[in-house]
Amino acid sequence: MSKTTKVQRENINWFYEQPVDIKFEMVMNHFEMSRIMINQIFEEIIREKTGDRYEHALTGQKKYYRHGFNPGSVKLGDHKLPVEIPRIREASSGKCIPLPGIEKFKQIEEPNEEVLKKVLHGISTRDYKKVTEHLAESFGLSSSQVSREFKEQSEEAFKHFCERTYEDHNFVALLIDGKYLASEQMVVALGITDKGIKIPVGFIQTSSENSRAISQLLKQIINKKFTFTHGLLVIIDGSKGLHKAVTDVFGKKVVIQRCQWHKRENVLSYLSDRDKSNFKTKIQNAYREPDYQKAKSILMSIHKELLKINQNAANSLLEGIEETLTLHKLKVAQIFSRSLGTTNCIESLNSQMAKYVRNVKRWSNSNQRQRWVASALLELENNLNKIHNFKHLNKLQEAIKNQLSKKSLEKIPTRK
């Protein structure tokens, strides 16, 4: 059971997200599954006292606050099961108080053989909803209550996501990318602060990456006190709608980096299998060259080669080529190409979000989609790593500032 040793504080949400083999392994060891259900009940008890876990602001109106965990145990039949018991701090005195109802956990009967048979049947038929229902009911927690708790949590998460502001951060970069969830596209915006922290700052449900919808998303983000003191680097794919929205909303305060990975894949899509491998390596090596003039020279040489093989591929390489070299022009390609030369880090976030919501078999309405996306982004936010070479972001800020200053001076007519 080495894979299930890190569930001391996890609840039903965590169980839903696990792959089949982990679910099966946990249910076979019903003590780990029992711990999950006990943690779920702990969460409900503590939420009654302190409110939802997404409420971080100390408004002065709450009487109790969450205050970490204490190691403890509960008696499950003849076995002693280690658990992490949440602590509650009283706002007025600052003292920790016992978790209400903790005495109920001094002795719990083990799930009987009939319950375990139902659980195993649910696993064999891949009906994980039934698995959770049987286990929840064996601990006195109804399936309807579990479903209701999920909905309430996701509604609170959505409300928190929509209402939170970002005045405590200074942003350096913004990545924008769309992800299809059950035939509907969600466009997500991921901000990068000057400390290298990744923060999902907004999302919108839209049928396509059209400029009007994306502009609304960007305006909403700005209204939430999204600040950038020295200009902003925006990383996007080749979508014309995204490009227009970014330039319309941010104007002269932004420089755009076109995703080099998307550019390469667009070019290769025109080529035969025989030529793909060769030109994939050549284009990758061109973008790895840190000097702007050298990198562009190599790409133009590749363009000449492609003209002889496939003019559509050649035209694709040339389209927007300058914006694929923005980091090179800023003279920071060697430092930030890995993290900001492509949209990889937001695509990774979107992939994780898709895994989070994959257990939803039937999408009923837009509100459900929005709630699940907000919940997923807030949950994933806590596990996002800082970008590569974040300690050098001051160099990127200075480079963006200088680049924008040059553009501004170029547009001022000289006096005769």
List the chain pLDDT tens, one digit each, 416 residues: 444 445 666 666 666 666 655 655 555 556 666 777 777 777 777 777 777 665 544 445 667 778 788 887 777 666 677 888 888 888 777 788 877 767 666 666 555 555 555 555 554 454 555 555 555 555 555 555 555 555 666 778 888 888 999 999 999 999 999 887 766 788 999 999 999 999 999 999 887 778 899 999 999 999 999 999 889 999 999 889 999 999 999 998 999 999 999 999 999 999 999 999 999 999 999 999 999 999 999 999 999 999 999 999 999 999 999 999 999 999 999 999 999 999 999 998 988 888 777 666 666 778 888 888 888 888 888 888 899 999 999 999 999 999 998 876 665 444 44
pLDDT value, residue 352: 84
Write the DSSP assignment of 360-409 as a string of letters.
Answer: ------HHHHHHHHHHHHHHHHTTPPPPTTGGGHHHHHHHHHHHHHHHHH
The domain containing residue 311 runs over which residues? 260-342
pLDDT value, residue 333: 95
pLDDT value, residue 190: 96
Identify whether 407 is part of a domain: no
pLDDT value, residue 57: 45
**How many structural domains is the chain composed of?**
3
Query: Cα dist. 325→190, 198, 233, 288 in Å?
Result: 21, 23, 13, 11
Query: Do 15 and 114 belong together in one domain?
Result: yes
Amino acid (one-letter) located at 401:
K
Identify whether 406 is part of a domain: no
Query: Do 281 and 349 belong together in one domain?
Result: no
Tell me the C-alpha distance between 105 and 90, whole Å.
23
Query: Do 190 and 211 belong together in one domain?
Result: yes
Ramachandran region, residue 394 (left: φ > 0; alpha: ψ -120 to 50; beta: rest): alpha
Which of helix, strand or coil describes residue 126? coil
pLDDT value, residue 300: 97
Angle ∠(169,68,191) on CA atoms, nearest 5? 20
Identify whether 218 is part of a domain: yes
Identify whether 142 is part of a domain: yes
Query: Do 15 and 142 belong together in one domain?
Result: yes
Query: Do 82 and 101 belong together in one domain?
Result: yes
Query: Do 283 and 321 belong together in one domain?
Result: yes
Q: What is the model's pTM?
A: 0.66
Amino acid (one-letter) located at 134:
H
Identify whether 46 is part of a domain: yes
Identify whether 25 is part of a domain: yes
